[in-house]
Chain A
């Protein structure tokens, strides 16, 4: 098959350093809006991401299918994925450091981690 939609090309969207990285479990879209059920938690996460972005923090979300290189490029993330497989996801990385494994954080957890990273 030629000219397939290149799901796998991850293009850098900005050169600013990433503050928060979310390694999502596989899903159709980040809000979960296209899955068979609606998960309010995913919508909460979406909202949190937007509110962090409004403070000019750089937040990136990765999925294994669309951003495999982001996973492969982070040794600690890959180690977790190999050990715990699906149970590891989502993985939250704040300024390069894994801060949460297996569930999404609340906004105050992110802020605490950001403050810690600044210290």
Chain B
């Protein structure tokens, strides 16, 4: 095994479980092991059932195992503190405060988290002591971005030292050291003797597509050290259950597709009856995975789990959170990776459009698969979606957004008669990796403030990155407030921007205009992740309006495995209702994947009711 092992893949495929199983296995073999998560919404602490946080922390119940959760906010604070340390004593406190605020843009946070990440790859004292370093990464879109950054920053630094001598992160001459560090990191990632990328995936269409896309992106960076773990294989014992046997047949087809399209060293892992949580459970799962042990036989009663007296939310309450009432309604579907945000978004948007609301469906996930669920591709600008009236769709792709943003700013500069040499310098600065963040954010604000829609549905990226996006308008309003220098022209631009941000903030806080819908399946980690996100958003005045509980196993399941899972889900469904005091929409586990307008429309009618004339 190589020193660095990355676990990557679509959200919800079991990256964290697989990464933890490997970490425990190597530690048990006596290897000094470190597990690091780069996911801002980390689940490591939930899985190990102990606090971890932004520092090297021993896993108390596993000798030889250490862990750390990279916290972007704390990484940024450390980075800023370090950068400002010599300045603090010399300048007035009020000025130091402005400098700190200045470093709160998306750029610094990204550089800081990335810089901390490369620290683990480039040998230094903190990782030298470890024989194995396992990275449990954020879902694909953001991980690819993280891995592309070393190359992009190196280029940006090169371009800056050839040109104006300035980059976003400081004078080019001073950051040559950083460039060496980033290049060194990239070399380590490319070396198959040093790094391995393990893609975890489910035998499902979207997970396969996302893995193929990720492998091709990594290929462009010269990284070819891949392996696969196909997770969630339905055990043969469940073939007598119609729901699982239908899903199992579907899996067989996709396993064939994986063999044909992803010809890498591959291992598989069976779907277990319960969650993988706690060290003992992880060890048991590791024995199944590494040693081919059989999962424990589920004993106990075969009786159906009673429905009980759980108060189901009324369809009117649920509909009230979805329907526009006299003004535009904006609905954000948020939550952990793999919980079904895209399906919930598409189903809701299709239902609204069919009820003659002019609806815009948007994805802010860089690894968007709106098109995979809708059944037809979705572009980078809002276009009417074919086959259905009143529905428009677009994805916010950071790279495409950056190109448009650059073209707009440079076009504007040309129109103002700026010289070609000045435009060249601007172009060089706009080629900084920061521009993608800026441009995607700018586009988000743009869509979020368009008034010609009756409903706007956001399919968001997994939790960590979505929180960052939603909090940016507030951060930047503050940054404008403390901005010291502004020309007359600049102040006017600031006023416009502040008003734009202010409107979006107000919209997000007003439950009459917007609904935050947290999507989760009834298991511990997605509930905890959504709960933490809801608490963080509450500090900015944004309250959740709806919970979507997905993959709920219907009653009348005759097999022990399905019964066991259903029992587990029932407890968690009760926990969801206790934690979130909002209507809960349950979506059943279906025998097949959801794809195409027809299925979405059927699902929407099941969720929100059949078309009636009185909804408007």
Contacts and interface: CB of A to CB of B under 8 A. Distances in A.
Interface of A: 1-11, 13, 24-43, 46-47, 50-51, 61, 64-68, 71-72, 78, 81-82, 85-87, 89-90, 103-104
A68 B90 CA distance: 8
B470 interface: no
Nearest to A39: B490
B429 A85 contact: no
B144 interface: no
A72 B90 contact: yes
Interface in B478-533: 479-480, 483-487, 489-490, 493-494, 496-497, 501
A3 B484 contact: no
A26 B86 contact: no
A42 B174 CA distance: 23
Given A5-B83, A40-B493, 16 more contacts: A4-B79, A7-B174, A9-B173, A11-B173, A28-B107, A31-B429, A33-B426, A36-B105, A39-B486, A39-B493, A40-B416, A43-B422, A47-B422, A65-B170, A81-B92, A86-B95
B124 A3 contact: yes
Contacts of B418: 43, 47
Contacts of B167: 29
B204 interface: no
A79 to B, nearest CB: 12
B83 A8 contact: yes
Contact of B425 (A31, A71, A78): A31
15 contacts: A1-B82, A3-B177, A7-B175, A8-B86, A25-B98, A26-B484, A29-B166, A35-B479, A39-B486, A39-B493, A42-B487, A81-B92, A81-B95, A89-B484, A104-B487
Given A26-B99, A29-B166, A36 B480 contact: yes
Given A10-B174, A66-B174, A28 B102 contact: yes
Contacts of B494: 36-37
A34 B169 CA distance: 11
B181 A3 contact: yes
A37 B125 contact: no
B168 A34 contact: yes
Interface of B: 78-79, 82-84, 86-87, 90-92, 94-95, 98-99, 102-103, 105, 107, 111, 115-116, 119, 122, 124-126, 164-171, 173-175, 177-178, 181, 409, 413, 416, 418-419, 421-422, 425-426, 429-430, 432, 434-435, 438, 476, 479-480, 483-487, 489-490, 493-494, 496-497, 501
A82 to B, nearest CB: 6
Contact of A25 (B119, B409, B485): B485
A112 to B, nearest CB: 20
**Across chains A and B, which 7 residue pairs bring their CB atoms closest together, nearest first?**
A41-B487, A39-B490, A86-B484, A25-B485, A5-B178, A7-B170, A37-B493
B123 to A, nearest CB: 10
Nearest to B78: A1
A2 B487 contact: no
A42 B490 contact: yes
Contacts of B169: 5, 7
B272 to A, nearest CB: 39
Contacts of A35: 105, 479, 483
For A25, A61, A72, the residue with the greatest tally of chain B CB atoms inside 10 Å of its CB is: A25
Nearest to A1: B78
Given A50-B421, A64-B91, A2 B480 contact: no
A3 B86 contact: no
B85 to A, nearest CB: 8
Given A3-B119, A37-B493, A40-B416, A71 B422 contact: no
B413 to A, nearest CB: 7
Contacts of A34: 105, 107, 168, 429, 432, 434-435, 438
Given A29-B167, A37-B480, A3 B83 contact: no
